[in-house]
Amino acid sequence: MIRVGLLELDTHRNETSFRYYGINRNLFKEVGIEFTNSDSYDYAMVGQASIIDKKVSLEESIDKGLDFISKINGDYIIFDGQDSTTLIGTIDVFRESSAKLFLKTVYLNDFDLYKKGWLNGRMYWGEGEYSVKDIDDLKPKMKLSGTNWGNTMFPSGQFEFFNYDKNKKYDLCGMFQYPLKEEVLEHNISQTPHYNKCRKPVYDLINSTKHSVCKLVDGKRLPYEEYVQNMYDSKIVFSPYGFGAYGAPRDVQCAQFGSVLIKPRMDWIDTKPNMYVEDETYIACEQDFSDLEEKVEYVLDNFEELQNYLTENFRKRLLEIYNPIHLVKHTYELFSGLEGVISE
């Protein structure tokens, strides 16, 4: 039995990253892996919340992260559970560490893109200063965690699906936050303009369209019951990128309520499991939304057919890929590949 210590489990971002390990603890034990929050372990799992601090400069954050791992007794694995492909902060600590593995939920599927400069490491926000020039040297130890946002929200792999109505009240649903008015700083750099920029084209379409629309007013959230009802009553749901790229409650709710998801294409990411299959679970538009109006008209013209096809495919895929047994198998393979670990 391999014992894996989940460090600082009560810290928010660590808890969400490690939640499925605890809930599916018994399944992992069946393959010889025990997750624990005790001080007795064979490997420590170090979540991103323990080694990055976005409230300080990147240099200060790296120093704090290195100080944290210097106090770990024994072997450890670094786990970046962010739903963005950015490596900023975590990979900088990993580079100077003796970690056995670097696990991440979502990568760019082309690692060469990490060598280019992106705004805070987020490719979908545009060109910027942060890059990982030595990615080829680091890559051998960089693996997919086998988890992502979906495992956090649905750790047992259970989903509730509802009978859906073909005669929906709204053509378009744009219940996402925009504009973001507060200044969000990451390593002393404002992220708010970039967040708003990648959502503005959808907001503009919603406010100029001839179609019926439900939306947030001035970015203010609705009571949950009203939000859910609006989702259910919508033919098309828009889901632009935000701080992260993979996963949003509204995406899964499309499958639950029988709405068609339109989202910027997701073929540039690598994650496991992956619920996004173009023209099978969602309708993809370009990242700059240059073809968004065309996609809207296509869906509305063929709504009844697309609603049934996409909804049923989406539901089947969610139930299949988020079955906990896949995560257990993936985790077993990760640990079996470590030096000194004997698999049975």
Tell me: the pLDDT tens digits for 3-47?
999 999 999 899 999 999 999 999 999 999 999 999 999 999 999
Strands 189-190 and 185-186, bridge-based pairing: antiparallel
- Percentage of the chain exceeding pLDDT 70: 99
Angle at 189 between CA 188 and CA 195, to 5 degrees: 135
Q: DSSP character for 228?
A: H
Instruction: Give the list of residues 6+ apart from residue 292 with CB closer than 8 angstroms, or none.
Output: 201, 202, 205, 262, 285, 286
pTM, entire model:
0.96
Per-residue pLDDT reduced to its tens digit, 227-277: 999 999 999 999 999 999 898 899 999 999 999 999 999 999 999 999 999
Residue corresponding to tokens 């559970």? 81
Q: Are 280 and 313 in contact (CB under 8 A)?
A: yes
Cis peptide before 273 (omega within 30 of 0): yes
Output the DSSP codes for 89-104. THHHHHHTS--S-EEE
Q: Are 186 and 225 in contact (CB under 8 A)?
A: no
* Of 220, 300, 206, nearest in space to 260 by CA: 300
Instruction: Give the per-residue pLDDT at 268.
Output: 97
What is the Cα–Cα distance from 170 to 185, expressed in whole angstroms? Answer: 36
* Of 309, 177, 325, nearest in space to 255 by CA: 309
What is the Cα–Cα distance from 113 to 93, expressed in whole angstroms? Answer: 20
